[in-house]
Amino acid sequence: MHHHTLAILKPDCLKNGHQGLVIDLIIKAGYKIIDMRMIRMTKAQAEGFYEVHRGKPFYEGLTLFMSSGPCIPLVLEKENAVKDFRKLIGATDPGEAEAGTIRRDFATSKQMNAVHGSDSDENAAIEIGFFFTQSEMIANL
């Protein structure tokens, strides 16, 4: 059985020209890319996506950062997609991430940490729906 997760290559990843390297690592880790696009979120869209964090000290900075430049949301497919992707990207703070993880290798700070990954199957479904329609994904299977 295949599962899905959402990844977002964040503005710092694109600004630093790392998107190709990160996508290559994702593919080498056994993920199939079901859908992807390059977008630039408005502040309101970033606030909507990160609504679960509203009221937390990092919320304002996070939504400003995520709307500061283009990013690439991707729908990824693999057995145990969420769990395995969280392992591949590493800890939120790149200083605490294990060697060889995406955040350890490409992030510059806890906020500018190169990539987002869903934290549960339930949230993956919600997050994927924020950026992609079911019909778009089916067309790419």
Residue range 38-58, pLDDT digits in tens: 999 999 999 999 999 999 999
Q: State the Cα torsion 125-128-130-136 to the nearest 10°.
A: -120
Please tell me the distance from the alpha carbon of residue 139 to that of residue 63, in angstroms, as a whole number. 31
Q: What is the value of pTM for the model shown? A: 0.94
Which helix (H) or strand (E) covers residue 6, if one does?
strand 3-9
| Environment class of 24 (CB within 10 Å of its CB; exposed 0-12, middle 13-18, buried 19+) | exposed
Residue 135: the pLDDT is 74
Catalytic residue among 3, 4, 18, 116: 116
Q: How many CB atoms lie within 10 A of CB 126?
A: 13
Q: Is 90 exceeded by the pLDDT of residue 138?
A: no
Please confirm, yes or no, whether 116 is among the known catalytic residues: yes
DSSP annotation of 49: H
pLDDT in tens, 100-115: 999 999 999 998 999 9
